Amino acid sequence: MDARGQSVKCGKVDSRESGSIAPALLAWYDVHARSLPWRMPPGANRADPYRVWLSEVMLQQTTVAAVIPYFERFTTRWADVAALAAAPEDEVMAAWAGLGYYSRARRLVECARVVAARGGFPEDEAGLRALPGLGAYTAAAVAAIAFGARAVVVDANVERVVARLFDIDTPLPAARAAIREAADAITPDARSGDFAQAMMDLGAGICSVRAPQCLICPLRAHCRGRARAEQLPVKPPKKAKAQRIGHAWWIERDGAVWLIRRAASGMLGGMRALPDDGWNARVDGSGAPPIPGDWREAGRVAHIFTHVALDLVVMVSQGDATPDGANELKEGEWWPLDRLDEAGLPTLYARAAAVAMARKG
């Protein structure tokens, strides 16, 4: 039954109902919109496409709280897309360190260079979708928020709101077509950027994964799935993560540590790191050290990737801090220990370095 007591089919949107959802949500957003450094106030209609694009790329698989300080550092250092396009890739990768999903940083530079070369961002979804690294969601978000175009923007928060709003109980990912169709039906022609951000805010603050605050939801009168909100959307069972064991070696000489640059493709691609045994392509953790030495375990770092759980064993040399054969090292660099925080080590290797230094100290 819907809000008027009429029989409805799950997921189908009544035209009269759809026309009342956007005004109710936008009225709420005008009062309750989150203040975020990449946003314009409600009603502004357009925003800086560079800031919208940068924030959306950073927010993929990452929380708002984690993104804000990175966004502020990036936009202070590279104020516009031309500045980012001119930046050396290794500097961008270092600035990205700790934010995860490092392929995003490489595509960020690639996209910035394409945009700078063409003189600015395209203003339509199709043009935005053609840029490196912009999928359907990011292209729609930039089109709606930056350029005021009508675009259907569906992220995880919007997906959850719409599934509950229209009681769409088909399990994901099969439900996504129905969710997008329903989101399209309620997206207004005017203020679609505000509408998209309002849906995101509603999902982040009120229509949350657990314990949604239905009593204060501005769409509660329209919500068909309110009685079972926490069960929607229906998610498939989680697959067990593959477990891997790896080794990383701490090689130190004259107040510096040996760092390598990881291959551009694969996990943590293009990032500086401690030399390791190729754990990302192996499962048994039996790789040999890069050079001879009296190696001992200093500790372990547990790290969870999207599809893999890693147990990284940190190895240090006993006695002389410089193991045998250090002079023969190639394809890397000696990095001063007192500037290690500038190396842009990803979180996994920053933690491994901390383990090695604690053992050494």
Active site residues: 56
Place of tokens 């004259």: 254
- Spatial CB neighbours of 247, under 8 Å, sequence gap ≥ 6: 276, 277, 279, 285, 287, 289, 312, 313, 314, 315
Of 56, 66, 59, nearest to 193 by C-alpha is 56
Report CA Rg, the chain: 24
Q: Which long-range contacts (CB under 8 A, 24 or more apart) does 111-115 make?
A: 111/53, 112/81, 112/84, 112/85, 112/87, 113/85, 115/81, 115/85
Q: Find out whether 27 and 218 touch, Cβ atoms under 8 Å.
A: yes
The 3-state DSSP class for residue 73 equals: helix
Say how far residue 294 (Cα) sits from the centre of its chain.
Answer: 40
CA atoms within 13 A on the CB side of 261: 11
Neighbours of 61 (CB within 10 A): 11
Name the residue with tokens 């009593």. 215
Q: Which of 190, 289, 172 lies closest to 232, judged by CA?
A: 172
| C-alpha dist (Å) from residue 336 to 61, 88, 210, 260, 346 | 32, 21, 46, 14, 17
Q: What angle do CA 338, 340, 345 make, to 5 degrees?
A: 175
Contact of 343 with 350, CB cutoff 8 Å: no
Question: Which among 266, 271, 332, 262 has a CA at the least distance from the CA of 305?
Answer: 266
Q: Is the dihedral of CA 181, 182, 185, 188 positive or negative?
A: negative
